[in-house]
Structure formats: C-alpha cells, structure tokens
Amino acid sequence: MAADQSREKIDYTALRRKLDEAQAVLEGAQVLSPERRREVLAERARALAESRHEERRETLSVLAFRVGGERYAVPIDAVDHVLESKGLCPLPGAPRHVLGALVSRSRVVPVLDLRQVLGLEGGGMSDLTRVVVVEVSEEFFGLAAEEVDGRQELPRADLSQPPPGPFTFLTRERLMVLDLAQLSDPAVVGRG
C-alpha cells in the first residue's frame, strides 16, 4: 500500500514542466545550426585522423639493444619477446654465427651472434645476457644482446642511409636499425 501512496504523490505536471525547461535550456545553448554542427564535427574528425596518421609516419618504433659495444635496433612490430640467454644450448656443426638454440613458447628458436655476423669485436658468451626474439615471415629467430635499452621512437627525419650490411637506417646517435629480412636469409648471414 505504501508503494501506491508514493505513486499518487508524483506531480506529473511539474515533472513535465521541468523537462520542458531543461529542453529549452538545451535548445537555447545550441548556437550552431545542425548543418554547421555536422561540418564542424567532420572537420574535427579529419584533423584528428590526419594528426594520428602523420604521427605514425613521422616516427619509427624500435627496440634498441647493445652488442659488441655498438647500438642496434629492430622494428618493434617484429619483436615477439625478450628473454634471458640462460638455457641456450649449443648446436654442434652449426655455422659460427649461430650461437645455439633456446626453447621458448613451445618452439625451438635459433639464436644469432651479431658479433660474428657483423664482424664485431666482443667478449665471450657470458657477455650476452639477453635474447631478442623476432619474427620475420612467420619464422622466429633470436638476436643475442649484451643489454636491452628498451623501446625508442625514432623521428623519421633523423634517419639516414646506413653503411653496407644488413641495415635499414642509421640515426644521428649511431643507432643502426637492422634489416631482419636480410638477417633471416642464411645466404646473406653466412657471408659475415
């Protein structure tokens, strides 16, 4: 019965009046015509879309790391994951540039020694503490690294032509972006 009494106390006329007043305030606040409003929103959407597109075009996202005293990077979209190098098993009879293999995420991943591939001076196996696992054309391989510096955004304007070798870009800070397609080709890597 209490519920019936509360329903009787609602003043629908006053409620309608308040809704009408709120509607009038909303309509009074609208300064733009519906056509102009659509134009403004379309302009804003175009500007936002262009700024996002330009931002992607203007930078290259990479994962930077160190090997043999030099700095290298790989495009971030090719990086599968980074792991510690412990558990690396040597592969007898493998080429010198193949350090060994790791089992990672239910697959065997061969690990390349960039020092051998690029002809760099370097320490022993104990210096290589990380493995950057990359994917190229649905194939996975690892790059042994001394240290991983992390993700970096490289302005495209700062990228220049690299020296000969498996590189795509060189930055002003001497960070070389590796060409993973060349590194995944045994014919190219075997020459190093």
d(CA 142, CA 164): 22
Name the pTM for this structure. 0.66
Give the SS3 label for residue 39.
helix
Which amino acid, 126?
Answer: S
At 7-47, the pLDDT tens digits run: 567 888 888 888 887 777 677 665 566 787 788 788 888 88
List phi, psi (to 5°) of 63. Answer: -105, 120
Q: What percentage of the chain exceeds 70 in pLDDT?
A: 82
At 147-178, the pLDDT tens digits run: 999 999 999 888 999 888 899 999 989 999 99
The whole-angstrom distance between residue 184's C-alpha and the CA centroid of its chain comes to 20
